[in-house]
Amino acid sequence: MPRPHVALLLALAAAYGVSHFPGGLDPYLLDVLTGIGINIILAVSLNLVNGYTGQFSLGHAGFMSVGAYLSSAVSLFVAPKLVGELSAAGEVTQGAVFLAALITGGFCAALAGLFVGVPSLRLRGDYLALVTLGFGEIIRVIFQNVEILGGALGLNAIPGSTTLTWVLAVAAVTVFVVHCLVDSTYGRGFLATRDDEIAAAAVGLNPTRYKIVAFVVAAFFAGVAGGLYAHFKLTITPTGFDFTRSIEIVVMVILGGMGNAVGVILAAVLLTVLPEVLRPIAEYRMILYSLLLVLLMLLRPQGLFNFPARRPRG
């Protein structure tokens, strides 16, 4: 069996194992670990766009909010009609409903990604940055105006289906899918698009298509992460997915070294734990992030955790 598949199975087994000693983890640690898992999903999926494909999206929180809202809507409005009261249903039913909700959220986010990506990805990277930023704003305005989704108050009383097992399992699947996608013959096209669009087009690849595929896949996982987040926090508001959230994810990708999976995961862990440690100086956190961005670009543009890679096998 290929190594990535073994790694995936091991990770899934570990995630399942975690659920069998919940007494060993205190709630605070559980909270931080869940946060880390969600951030890994977000950072690794954004890495596909910003790292491997060389585009620059600033709207990841926007896709996350689409996933969060739509999956919550499934849990709150659709599921009770199909299976009755959720808390009364069996464990398997609950799990199936949650999975369906997550996947719905992911697909809606992917659809939004397609809708945003098709016009903007035909153009250069800096346009994409602004269009995705604008998209985040539009999404917020729309959610604020849709009464059935709670308007400006947001959605409340979302069932707390998210467990550490779910988060770790989805994180493992995300890392696996992104790794296998980029490592495949097809996936070389992402790297070619990043390295030189014109040269890629000259050898018969379609850069726009690759960009859109990367964008849609990343949006899907952002949507799933949003669903996990909503069922973890139990309440969501339109302003909870603002620009700063997108920036946090971008900083993770850049800190880890764009296109470096291990570095990005490390950065996601670091940047989730850091705010906990730095709680006393929380107001300076964003200043720190922004300085970090500028200094990294000036001094170490390849990222903090990007060490010279071994030659890829095969």
* Residues making contact with another protein (CB under 8 A): 54, 56, 58, 116, 119-120, 122-127, 129-131, 133-135, 137-138, 141-142, 144-145, 198, 243, 247, 250, 254, 258, 283-284, 286-287, 289-294, 297-298, 301
Rounded to a whole number of angstroms, the minimum distance from the CB of residue 269 to another protein is 21
Instruction: Specify the 3-state DSSP secondary structure of 160.
Output: coil
- For residue 302, the minimal CB distance to another protein (Å) is 10
Contact indicator for 200, 209 with CB cutoff of 8 Å: no
DSSP helix/strand/coil, 195: helix
Q: Which is nearer to another protein, 144 or 235 (CB)?
A: 144
Nearer to another protein, 118 or 180 (CB): 118
**C-beta closer to another protein: residue 227 or 256:** 256
Residue 155: φ, ψ to 5°: -105, 140
Q: Smallest gap, in angstroms, from Cβ of residue 296 to another protein?
A: 8
CA gap 74, 205 in Å, rounded: 39
Burial 103-136 (b: 16+ CB within 10 A, else e): bbbbbbbbbbbeebbeebbeeebeebbebbbebb
Cβ at position 232, least distance to another protein in Å:
27
* Phi-psi sector, 308: left (phi>0), alpha (psi -120 to 50), beta: beta
CA 119 to chain centre: 22
Whichever of 93 and 144 has its CB closer to another protein, that residue is 144
Nearer to another protein by C-beta: 160 or 301?
301
Q: How far is the CB of 132 from another protein (least distance, A)?
A: 10
